[in-house]
Chains A and B, each alone.
Chain A
């Protein structure tokens, strides 16, 4: 699948509840500083879920071209800001590359929910002619990819992956395919921002959100008191390119993408096991690695007891009970849907660079059957070369990505 091309991550941009900017995010993660708090984008009082991870201090007009602001949803604005940081970080001069060999593949789960909600309000309160024309280009899943492509003149293969929380890994998997077939550089990763009444109500329908009204105790993956997860917004944009291109322009890489696999859960009534174990095994095979080569697993960490148990069992089946360090820094942000796995990849890459495994905030007592070496305070292991990121999206999407330290 990689056609012998080594794929490198050379740029990171983060816009997350833990901070705007990769450095701010990493410092917050290390300090265990949570971005979870009472929702401020709207009055959450009448809703069963009142806590979320919001991106604070993000003023779109400071970070996005002013003409683009009224044309885009917040989810796209977060991505535009993160992409600017990621491209700067990669030190890439896009004008020096053939524009048709620069691709954009992002992940999206909710689309432009907040933008759409306001247009629906215009429709039902005032009438059809009050629906703004930009609804046509702001709501749909590919809007972020399109705006990134236009903004930076990246005219190679463009696409969007919609696999809910797994989408961020699927986007990188697709980026890797493109790099194997002539594309030089891909702007990938993803964001999401669905913290508006319409977006939250849609999320509630999964029945997996935590209604516990305590920022510290609401999202406790793998814990005996797990009660669901909290939602968040933001994500990460990640620049990936072939080693040949990175070498040619003399850039330093963060990490290597060593392996990737995706799967889909069987229908619940078939009695067949979920896809995760097979996906982990296939990702290892794809990377030509053995389980004991992996130094840390960034878990999907659904926070829903049955899903936590299924994930713990899949990890234990491959790595052995408590056989590998497992962490979930997403406890500081909530689950970011289309942006979630992309942020996990950014965090894993930063962990590899700094040689520190960040911790999981919240859980104190593992639930029965969760035989995990869960990292609850930061660790500096003797070896931190290879990280695995796991992600599961609502409905059965499952993906795993392996990252190697450069």
Chain B
């Protein structure tokens, strides 16, 4: 059994207590646009993400809703927070995604 997620809500417990990952979860602090860039590159190492992408729609960057959902799952695994499935709707652009993730970190009491 891995360490308990740092999130404290009942919902988080229900969703994650069965997880047995050996990987140490990254400490939560502030989630930046560069953190997101790194995750986007994991999905596509050749993606052109160097410019000002903050307010560009994910779809225009070549990431469809499933790709964004996959990145949300990666954030969930890496930081031990529960990202609801419908969070994708709140993350149409990288800037909105960063804002949403930071709000989630704050709620889960980093």
Where the two chains meet, the residues of A that have a C-beta atom closer than 8 Å to any C-beta of B are 66-67, 70-71, 125-130, 132-134, 136-137
Contact = CB atoms under 8 A, between A and B. Distances in A.
Contacts of A70: 43
Interface string B19-44: 11100000000000000000000011
Contacts of A129: 15-16, 19, 73, 76-77
Given A66-B44, A66-B46, A70-B43, A130 B21 contact: yes
Interface stretch (B50-58, B62-70, B94-102): B62-70
B66 A130 contact: no
Contacts of B44: 66-67
B21 A126 contact: yes
A133 B73 CA distance: 8
Given A66-B44, A67-B44, A133-B73, A126 B19 contact: yes
16 contacts: A66-B44, A70-B43, A127-B18, A127-B19, A127-B20, A128-B18, A129-B19, A129-B77, A130-B19, A130-B21, A130-B77, A133-B66, A133-B69, A133-B73, A134-B70, A136-B66
A125 B19 CA distance: 8
A126 B18 CA distance: 9
Contacts of A132: 70, 73
Contacts of B76: 129
A309 to B, nearest CB: 49
A197 to B, nearest CB: 22
Given A66-B44, A66-B46, A70-B43, A127 B21 contact: yes
A289 to B, nearest CB: 49
Which of A66, A127, A134, A137 has the largest count of B CB atoms less than 10 A from its CB? Answer: A127
Nearest to A67: B44
A66 B62 CA distance: 12
A134 B43 contact: no
B101 to A, nearest CB: 15
A67 B73 CA distance: 18
Nearest to A71: B66
A313 B44 CA distance: 55
A336 to B, nearest CB: 29
Interface in B47-97: 62, 66, 69-70, 73, 76-77
Contacts of A130: 19, 21, 73, 77
B16 A127 contact: yes
A108 B47 CA distance: 32
Contact of B66 (A125, A128, A137): A137
Which of B43, B46, B73, B76 has the largest count of A CB atoms less than 10 A from its CB? Answer: B73
A208 B37 CA distance: 51
A125 B77 CA distance: 14
A33 B73 CA distance: 46
A138 to B, nearest CB: 10
Contacts of A67: 44, 62
Nearest to B22: A126
Nearest to B21: A126
Nearest to B18: A127
Nearest to A69: B44
Contacts of B15: 128-129
B70 A133 contact: yes
A134 B69 CA distance: 10
Contact of A125 (B16, B20, B70): B20
A134 B63 CA distance: 13
A134 B65 CA distance: 11
A200 B21 CA distance: 28
A330 B69 CA distance: 42
B85 to A, nearest CB: 10
A250 B16 CA distance: 61
A70 B74 CA distance: 15
A71 B65 CA distance: 13
Contacts of A137: 66
Given A127-B21, A129-B77, 18 more contacts: A66-B44, A67-B62, A71-B66, A125-B20, A126-B19, A126-B20, A127-B16, A127-B20, A128-B18, A128-B19, A129-B15, A129-B16, A129-B73, A130-B73, A133-B66, A134-B66, A134-B70, A137-B66
